Structure 1
């Protein structure tokens, strides 16, 4: 549930915090759910106790969790919190992704190419795993070129208003 990428330029504590926010805003964790103890989670994900403590403190400051002395940490009700949704979190992650890629020296065009390739690979993987082509399932046809009456030679005439 908590996969951390130690080779990422995103700090471990921020990866962990973002994952918690996603799990809370997506409904995996419900309001009132008891979260793992700081020590237990630190052992589970093999990070320093202080790292997990920092994550919990930050989540509490942002209103995602509530700590109760000697009882632990519990998920807060964030349903009425403005801007809390998977889309808002995805937007924040996307902005951070762009910043990190630019810090690595990539141009926006390089980032676009890389992201498009990764998105295409993810879609292909999903189709392989599910065995369903979502476009076919929805009745959408792909890969067909529709030619309208007239040839490419008369495109100049149409552009000047002399054609159909």
Structure 2
């Protein structure tokens, strides 16, 4: 059985050098994990305190993520029981494809901020994709 702390730390890797705020990185990751089916409707999420400790971020940061996810209809918090994933299958714009599109747009934006042209981005992406395929095989 995997160590729960190591699982959360691996699932929610934070890029402290990113221009994206930590709370938004966590929220985006949760949305991906929910829409991709990693977390299924009814699954209980890690506790706020537990996740904060596992990924070494402030408790208030994780609390903000959970409140935002609840406001957006991804999770439901039940007093003294925890946070649970809601069924978002019929929610407009919620799919792996739309989540991937959001991530791709952010990737393009960040590469543009680095001064890369679309051709540079395409070349870099191709290299990374080839490396990922090689590692998979």
TM-score, length-normalised on structure 2?
Answer: 0.86
Q: Which has the higher helix share?
A: 2
Q: Deviations over 1:75-110 (max 9, x none)?
A: 011111122111111110000111111112222121
1:111 aligns to 2:102 (yes or no): no
What's the counterpart of residue 60 of structure 1?
70
Counterpart-to-counterpart distance in 2, 1:93 and 1:8: 14
Secondary structure of the equivalent of 1:66? strand
CA distance in 2, matches of 1:104, 1:54: 29
Aligned to 2:57: 47
Give structure 1 stretches of 5+ with no counterpart. Answer: 128-164
Q: Name the SS for the 1:110 alignment partner.
A: helix
Q: Which residue does the alignment assign to 1:6?
A: 16
Superposed CA RMSD in Å reads: 1.3
Structure 2: tracts of 5 or more residues without a match: 1-10
Matches within 5 A, 1:12-161: 12-127=22-137
d(CA) in 2 for partners of 1:11, 1:122 = 26
Q: Tell me which structure has the larger Cα radius of gyration.
A: 1
What are the Cα deviations for residues 97-140 of structure 1, in whole angstroms up to 9, with x where unaligned?
1111111222212111111111111112112xxxxxxxxxxxxx
Task: Report the alpha carbon displacement of residue 2 of structure 1 after superposing the two structures with TM.
Answer: 1.6
- Choose between structure 1 and 2 for higher RCO, CA contacts under 8 A separated by at least 6 residues: 2
**Which consecutive aligned stretches of 4+ in structure 1 deviate over 4 angstroms post-superposition?**
none
